[in-house]
A and B are shown apart, each in its own frame.
Chain A
Amino acid sequence: MNEKNTHDNDIDQEYVVPQWQLDLDRVGFVRKIFLARKWYGGDWWFVVLSAFLLLFIIIIGIFPQWFAPYDPKAEVSSSLLAPGEAPSSFVLVANIDSDIKEFKEIASSKNKVGIVVASPSSQALREAVTALNDEAKAAGEPATYNPRPIRFETLEEGLEATAAGEVNGFIAAPAELEGIIEKYPQLEICGALREETAKGFIFGTNQIGQDIFSRIIWGTRIALIVGLSSAIVSILVGVPLGLISGFISGPFDRILTLLMDSLYSFPGLILAISIAAVLGAGIGNVIVAIAVLYVPTYFRIVRGQTLSVKQELYVEAARSLGAKPSTILWKYIFPNVIPSIVIIFSVNVADAILTEAGLSFLGLGLPPDTPDWGIDLARGQDYLRRAWWLITFPGLMVSMVTLAFSMLGESLSEILNPRLAEL
């Protein structure tokens, strides 16, 4: 009877009890949380990972100015620069004997400046003039720079005209001039059109020359504001309604439930579209339109839990001891619904950010030119063939932020959901 039989070849459960489980009841609280990573496995890592990601995103959202090198609305360089591509610089070509040193000297309205028609140099000219005028304004001088652009069909035509003195100067990219300028000994390159930062932009620029990196950094703030505030509004409406409705029951409960169920079954985005379309563009309106969508979700979950907690013995006991209904609601029922609210909240924020991006993508959300991911994506759609970076980076940003929030929600629900807990 005392033969001890230990079978290591247990094929049914190739499950060997790990040492850490045996250690569990011998360690302290902090170590326990740390050991929990082995218990919860991947979910523990999901939570930690998404928490770090969220921390980072929230810091970016609060202090975008620390991270964004440029003003998101400023046109900082030429348009549609690929990531890392330096803007092509332009130079001024003039007669050697004209003694011109910089563009400023020939930029008054009396002068003529030559360019090749429909080339990037026309934009460069415009930008240079704007820059000069801004400079003058800043110095308190009258902003009167406005040279007359003369357009030529080809570079050679233009250079000939410059050599002949028909125009005061000619603007072209150095790469184009290479090998051609030598044919006109009377011309010289006077220097860069303006002092430009020759370095590129890590995510490139969009079609109006804004820095995409700065725009998506500032977009974080908008996304977080919309996501978090609409979620909070939904909670403030949905949770009390659910608590009260589940608690008092009766016709009030039935009507409210029918209402919420109908709202819940309606496609959220379409509802938001119609609300946003009627209310018009603006961040407050977007928040309201999105908040409406999630009220039924909170309502349903909170009401369901209230109904089941209400039946529990300890609540019955408290009631029979004469506790006030408000006390029962607040002290006994509310704490039970908090875990679910936390889970829905993070999924809700993720969903709200997606919906906001969708609304902006459809042109219904925020005023145009707000640094917003959805708006950037909508604008980038027209340049799909030429400039992949216009949509890629804002799109990745929306995905990343949504991913962080939904990963948190998903793994929290796996950990907190009593229906799934094995133990």
Chain B
Amino acid sequence: MMSNDKVLVQVRNLSVNYHTRLGPVSAVNDVSFDIYRGEILGLVGESGCGKSTLGKALMRMIMPPAKISSGAIIFDGEDVMKFDQKRLRDFRGRRISMIFQDPMTSLNPVQRVDEHLIEAIQVHEPKTVLENAQERVRTLIGRLGIQERRLRDYPHQLSGGMRQRVMIGLGLILNADLIIADEATTSLDVIVEAKLVDQLREIREEFGLAILVITHNIALVAEIADRIAVMYAGQIVELGDITNIFDNPLHPYTIGLLSSVPSIKLDDHEELYKMSGEPPNLTHPPSGCRFHPRCPEAMPLCSRFCPNMEEVVPGRWVHCWLYQDHPQKERSTIKVKA
């Protein structure tokens, strides 16, 4: 994985801990991956596996008592971890932006829609003349399919889908390169969700920005994403092209996850696969590979050593001992064909 023109963000060995009363919670552990320019990357995993934490860490929005304990985030060639406050503020909003799950609460209830957008412009580009800012807002909002008269509305007067589009607008108004959508469609109904997903794709084409879609809805990821990262208990266990992973999942967790998704075919009455065991308590994560207590393929080795994130075929990374060598390993390593 060399940094080249295609790569927008490089995340290397990122770990985040929440320091709670009950001890540290290892919410993200030694995660490495890249986000390419203009791609839609899906990040999926069970609830509580650290997806939101990872998303916030990308913007360095981890607040005490949590802390990024180690790792590097290289955004467009610059080390985000080295930014000072001012740089960081500029970075957020102008280069990267985030949309949250609950559209009801993520806009300021006493601020009008246009005030949100104009404020964003004025904070980041203080020299902008108000008229220009308003003009930009109007153009953008039109593109997002919100009527202009809605600009003078308060957030509570908009529907959920519209609010999320305003949130997207807030990311676009400053031409951010990456938008992180953290379960942005979860609270919308199916039809609005579908529309929003279409819109996200269009926006990607039009503005050429990258979108990190965080969700536990695999069907959504299948529809929208170019690549997919599967996360389990604070670690990314598998990363690759969407078609490859759906056709041929490698990591035992991914296999389990995909077979527990209900099929949409109506005549399909087969019993859903249920993964045994519970997701681990991240205060005391299992040793070695964090998935080994639930893994059908677990080997003695798995409980003692943590595997690496290895590129098994070009563009396909797996975090599993099945696919990599170790001197103490009894079974032979599986070779994956490209």
Contacts and interface: CB of A to CB of B under 8 A. Distances in A.
A touches B in complex, CB < 8 A: yes
Interface of A: 1-7, 9-13, 15, 17, 21-22, 24-25, 36, 39, 422-423
Given A13-B62, A25-B23, A5 B84 contact: no
Contact of A10 (B18, B81, B309): B81
B63 A22 contact: no
15 contacts: A3-B13, A4-B70, A6-B69, A6-B70, A7-B68, A10-B68, A11-B85, A12-B60, A15-B67, A17-B17, A17-B24, A17-B67, A21-B23, A21-B65, A422-B65
A39 B70 CA distance: 23
Given A3-B72, A15-B67, A423 B85 contact: no
Contacts of B13: 2-5
B329 interface: no
Contacts of A39: 21
B19 A21 contact: yes
A25 B283 contact: yes
B22 interface: yes
Interface range on chain B (Cβ under 8 Å from partner): 20 to 34
A24 B24 CA distance: 8
Contacts of B32: 1
Interface string B52-64: 0000000010111
A7 B60 CA distance: 12
Nearest to A7: B81
A17 B85 contact: no
Contacts, number: 66
Contact of B82 (A7, A15, A22): A7
A17 B64 CA distance: 9
Given A3-B12, A6-B70, A24 B22 contact: yes
A1 B85 CA distance: 27
A22 B12 contact: no
A407 to B, nearest CB: 22
B71 interface: yes
Nearest to B82: A7
A5 B64 CA distance: 20
A194 to B, nearest CB: 67
Nearest to A27: B23
Contact of A13 (B1, B24, B64): B64
B4 interface: no
A414 to B, nearest CB: 14
A2 B30 CA distance: 10
A185 B82 CA distance: 99
Nearest to B87: A11
B84 A11 contact: yes
B21 A423 contact: yes
Contact of A423 (B65, B67, B284, B309): B65
A392 to B, nearest CB: 43
Contacts of A21: 19, 23-24, 65
A17 B82 contact: no
- Top-7 shortest CB links A-B: A25-B23, A5-B72, A15-B64, A7-B81, A24-B23, A21-B19, A6-B70
